Structure formats: C-alpha cells, structure tokens
Amino acid sequence: MRRYLVIALPYLWLLGLFLVPFLIVLKISLSDLNLSIPPYLPQLDPSAGWAGLKDFFSQLDFENFVFLTEDDLYWKAYLSSLKIAVVATFFTLCVGYPMAYGMARAPSEWRPTLMMLVILPFWTSFLIRVYSWMGILSNEGFLNQFLLWTGIISEPLVIMNTTTAVYIGIVYTYLPFMILPIYSALEKMDDSLLEAAEDLGCSRLQAFWLVTFPLSKSGIIAGCFLVFIPSIGEFVIPSLLGGSDTLMIGKVLWEEFFNNRDWPVASAVAVILLAILVIPIILFQRNEQKQREADG
C-alpha cells in the first residue's frame, strides 16, 4: 500500500497541475468568443441535467483550429519560434560546452566555486536580468559606450529591438541549463580513457572527438532539450528585447489573451504549442531513461 501511495503522489500532482488545466484550456479552445465574463460560450450548467450536458457538448467545435490554419500570422509565428529556439539552442551549446569542459577539467577544489558562479544568476529575478540587458544593448547602453570609447565603432550599433537581442537574451538566460548537464556528464568521465587514447597515437584533439565528445553526448542532448523547450514558448525576452519584427508564438499568445481578449483562439494556440512541445519532451524523457539504465 505504501508503494502504491508513493507512486500515486506524482500522478496526482500531474493530474491537478497539468491534466486538469490542460482540459480546461482545451475546452475553451473548442468554445466561441462571447462579449461577457468569461468571454466564451458555452458554459456548463450542472443544474440543467443530462439535456444541458448534451447541449453543452453539441456547441463545441473546431472552428478556432480551422481559423489558425487560415491566418498566416499563426503558422509564421510557430515557424519563427522554432527557428529562433533552434538557433538559440545551438549558440547556447557553443558557449556552454567550453565552459562545462573547463569546469570539469578544473582542480577539484575549484569546482564547487565554479558551480556556484554558474547558478548565481538564479538568485536574481528573471525579469531584472532581462531588463539589465535592455540597458546594456540600447543605443546609449554600456556596450555601445564601451565600443565607442575604444574606437572599435564610430556610431552606435542597433542591437536592441532586433532578433539578435532575443538570441543574446535567450543564450544568457538559459545558459546554466546547458552547462550543468554537460558538466555532470564530463565530470563522471574516466581520465584514463584519454590517456589510453593518447598512448595509442591520438592527439589531444583526436582524443577529444573520439572519447570526450561521445561520452558527453547524453549531457548535450539533455542540455539542448532543457534550452529548446522553454525557448520556443518564450514571451518575456522577445517582448522586452525584440522589436515589432520579432515574431514568436508566446508573444502572439499573450496578445490574444490580454489585448484581443479572444480566449478561444488563444487557447487553441496554446494547445497546438503544447502538442509541438510534446515531441521533444517525450524524446527528452526517453533519453533520461536510457541514461539511468546505462548508469544502473
């Protein structure tokens, strides 16, 4: 009985905090816009009995999902979000892997300090960290002032309100999620494997590509998933750092909910976004399962 209770607790957590809210959003996505509170119809009236329940389900339809296929704004937003998330994940990997490699090769007494420095940004509010980049990347910001002072540029660079600023914000924000899994994989690697590869005639670069990189593949996959999944639905970073030309589905979702107050269409957007994210989430879970089986 205790074993079943322990197993049931996470499922009850998922039921209450994921499945029930998802079913509510799914129901709203099948509803119609209404100028009232709440701004959608139909609404279930338990006092109407079985006839009211049949009438409730008869009014649900898929018109909002059909509308998403007819308006090119939405599929362009999905494609743009996918592109930005993939490119940002690649840049995060390029920045995070050398840092994780350096941490794993650092003396053991320095590793806790380096780990703390990686986690340190989480002690500050996410919103404040994004706002700080607005001050750094603006035309009168620290970056342009420094480049002008050194003479590298003659006029300020236009970085703020561009897709480049969004990439910078995503890479900076989610960099720890890339570093930590790769560092965990590299730290567990046996250094004698590199010595054996070099004894067999491999150079240091060849030993890295033939031994170190394959053994860190699980950390790379985990880090990429941890960055890609939240990046594709990111709203704060494109809203604060991106301009009007930066199109991401999280931004469209916010505007539909709070500016247009079209909850049914916004819910349909959210349901499709979740369906897109289910694929990398399942792949991530399978990768984690394989990793646990390999470690066991």
> Where in the chain are the domains?
64-295
**Encoding tokens for residue 260?**
């247009």
**Mean pLDDT across the chain:** 88
Which of 128, 124, 114 has the alpha carbon at shortest distance from 179? 114
Q: Are 51 and 42 in contact, with CB atoms under 8 Å apart?
A: no
Distance, CA of 247 to CA of 281 (rounded, Å):
23
How many residues make up the chain in this entry?
296
Looking at the domain that runs over 64-295, which CATH code has it been given?
1.10.3720.10
SS (H, E, C) 134-161: HHHHCCCCHHHHHHHHHCCCCCCCCCCC
pLDDT over 80 (residue 61): yes
pLDDT over 80 (residue 19): yes
Q: Which residue type, as a one-letter code, is found at position 167?
A: Y
Which of 276, 283, 284, 294 has the alpha carbon at shortest distance from 226? 284
Which of 274, 278, 173, 284 has the alpha carbon at shortest distance from 233? 274
Which of 230, 226, 218 has the alpha carbon at shortest distance from 289? 218
Mean pLDDT of 7-34: 88
**Encoding tokens for residue 242?**
């991106």
Q: Are 184 and 104 in contact, with CB atoms under 8 Å apart?
A: no
pLDDT over 80 (residue 12): yes
Residues 136-162: tens digit of each pLDDT: 999 888 999 999 999 888 888 888 989
Supply the pLDDT for residue 177.
Answer: 94
DSSP state of 40: E
As a whole number of Å, the CA-based R_g of the chain is 24
Q: Are 235 and 253 in contact, with CB atoms under 8 Å apart?
A: yes
pLDDT over 70 (residue 121): yes
Supply the pLDDT for residue 296.
Answer: 61
